[in-house]
Amino acid sequence: MPTARSATAIEAVNLGKTYGRGGKAVRALDGVSFAVPTGVVFGLLGPNGAGKSTTVRILSTLSRPDSGTASVAGVDVRREPARVRRAIGYVSQKPAFDPMATGRENLVLSGRVYGLSRHDARERARGLLTRFGLGDAADRLAGTWSGGMQRKLDVAMGLVHRPRVLFLDEPTTGLDPEARADLWAEIDRLAAGDGLTVLLTTHYLEEADRLAARLVIVDAGSVVAEGSPEQLKNELRGDSVQVELAGGDADGAGHRARHAVGAVPGVADVTVEGGVLRARVGNGAAALPGVLAALDAAGVEPAAITMARPSLDDVYLRHAGRAFREADRAEGVLV
Ligand code: ADP
Ligand code: MG
């Protein structure tokens, strides 16, 4: 392993992966490339089915790509998977802890699996339990813990062997807002305080916005945008306008609204989904009268209008051509 820390902790180059074959083949990754600087939280943001878990599984050597190359902590994942495994922690989307063991037992066992002596594993478990505020519950069965505590336990188990790179696959899915905020603070601390590189996948726009110093947005197996959340939002000049149509999409109202608003000067990227029209305008306040007049002329009544600075949702919309939540829903996964 290189002794000096290089500036790039993870590099993926043109990763391709197809599951199954023939008519049932699923192209999960279609040439995914990105580079993760050392010591930051890097986000892999995308709707369900985008290829996030597949990417993480390849980078953590649990799966092999059909094409492309990748290195983690300076080591090629295909050529030296064992060395990669020693350098990384992997926290899967599904829980990995044993519910019939205590929190402490889970951590000690992880430590032993990673080759720590019994004594070192106990010490490390103690340290991590304290670090994550799990000390009081340490000797209760993990199956009885709250969802937030269980997720923290999974993260702690990924850290027993002091990895340089930590993969977190959708760490906060299913958590209530309070537990999510709590875990966000922990993840922040990992990169800021401990200098770890964290690759985090999420389908929560807010989570990527809040945690990631840099991110890629993946959609249908491809990277559609890359940068810091701020950069990506700043690339979209102007404001985003959202109009809820009073009658929804009934009687072709959505179609008429889209055409009418699309013809207003200074308005771009008009879409209508689920009775909601969204558009980008150079200057929200200046464009509003024209938008309202166009809707009126088209016989479409607005129920509510919101104007906002661009969000990551707008970034996604610009690059993938449909709203993020619609893409998530299209995958048929309840979140
Ligand atoms: P994400 O984590 O972003 O939700 P995944 O990487 O899990 O996406 O999946 C990407 C695509 O590959 C999806 O269409 C999914 O249904 C498919 N897929 C994932 N794993 C398998 C598998 N083991 N066999 C067949 N298809 C799979
Ligand atoms: Mg996944």
- In tens digits, the chain (335 residues) has pLDDT values of 444 567 899 999 999 999 998 888 999 999 999 999 999 999 999 999 999 999 999 999 999 999 999 999 999 999 999 999 999 999 999 999 999 999 999 999 999 999 999 999 999 999 999 999 999 999 999 999 999 999 999 999 999 999 999 999 999 998 999 999 999 999 999 988 878 999 999 999 999 999 999 999 999 999 999 999 999 998 887 888 999 999 888 888 999 999 999 999 989 889 998 899 999 898 878 888 999 999 999 999 999 999 888 888 888 888 887 778 778 877 654 43
Same domain, 192 and 250: no
Would you tell me how many other CB atoms lie within 10 Å of the CB of residue 192? 13
Indicate the Cα dihedral angle 199, 202, 208, 211, nearest 10°. -50
What tokens were used for 248? 């929804």
Domain-located, residue 325: no
Mutate which of 44, 54, 204, 217 for ligand 1 pocket (most atoms within 8 A of beta carbon): 54
> Which of 209, 232, 255 delimits the end of a domain?
232
- Ligand 1 binding pocket (C-beta < 6 A) is 19-20, 26, 28, 46, 48-54
Give the H or E element holding residue 306.
strand 302-308
Could you give the C-alpha distances from 125 to 104, 111, 132, 155, in angstroms and in order? 6, 8, 11, 12
Could you give the C-alpha distances from 285 to 238, 239, 288, 318, in angstroms and in order? 10, 9, 5, 21
Atom of ligand 1 nearest to the CA of 331: 14
Pairwise CA distance, residues 274 & 291, whole Å:
19
Same domain, 61 and 96: yes
Pairwise CA distance, residues 133 & 138, whole Å:
10
Same domain, 215 and 253: no
Number of domains into which the chain is organized: 2
Same domain, 226 and 296: no
> From atom 14 of ligand 1, which residue's Cα is the shortest distance away?
49
Same domain, 51 and 156: yes
Domain-located, residue 278: yes
Domain-located, residue 316: no
| Predicted local confidence at residue 285, as pLDDT | 80
Convert the pLDDT of each residue in 88-140 to its tens digit: 999 999 999 999 999 999 999 999 999 999 999 999 999 999 999 999 999 99
- Please, what is the end-to-end C-alpha distance for the chain in angstroms? 40
At residue 131, φ and ψ (nearest 5 deg) are -55, -40
Domain-located, residue 333: no
Same domain, 174 and 275: no
Same domain, 132 and 208: yes
Q: Which residue range forms the structural domain that includes residue 258?
A: 237-309
| Residue linked to tokens 């999960």 | 28
Longest dimension (CA), the chain: 77
> From atom 7 of ligand 1, which residue's Cα is the shortest distance away?
53
Domain-located, residue 315: no
Domain-located, residue 330: no
What tokens were used for 64? 């092999």
Across the beta sheet with 26-37, what order do the strands follow? 26-37, 8-19, 67-72, 75-76
Same domain, 135 and 79: yes
| CATH code assigned at 216 | 3.40.50.300
Domain-located, residue 318: no
CA of 49 to the centre of ligand 1 (A): 6
Q: How many residues does the chain have?
A: 335
Indicate the Cα dihedral angle 81, 12, 234, 277, nearest 10°. -90
Same domain, 192 and 243: no
Same domain, 28 and 122: yes
Same domain, 69 and 136: yes
Pairwise CA distance, residues 45 & 208, whole Å:
7
Same domain, 88 and 118: yes
Cβ atoms of 64 and 58 within 8 Å: the answer is: yes
What tokens were used for 256? 């008429």
- State the helix-helix crossing angle for 147-157 and 118-131, rounded to 10 degrees: 140
Pairwise CA distance, residues 123 & 100, whole Å:
21
Domain-located, residue 72: yes
> Which of 201, 232, 263 delimits the end of a domain?
232
DSSP secondary structure string, 274-294? TTEEEEEESSHHHHHHHHHHH
DSSP 141: B
> Which of 232, 259, 279 delimits the end of a domain?
232
> From atom 5 of ligand 1, which residue's Cα is the shortest distance away?
51
| CATH code assigned at 267 | 3.30.70.100
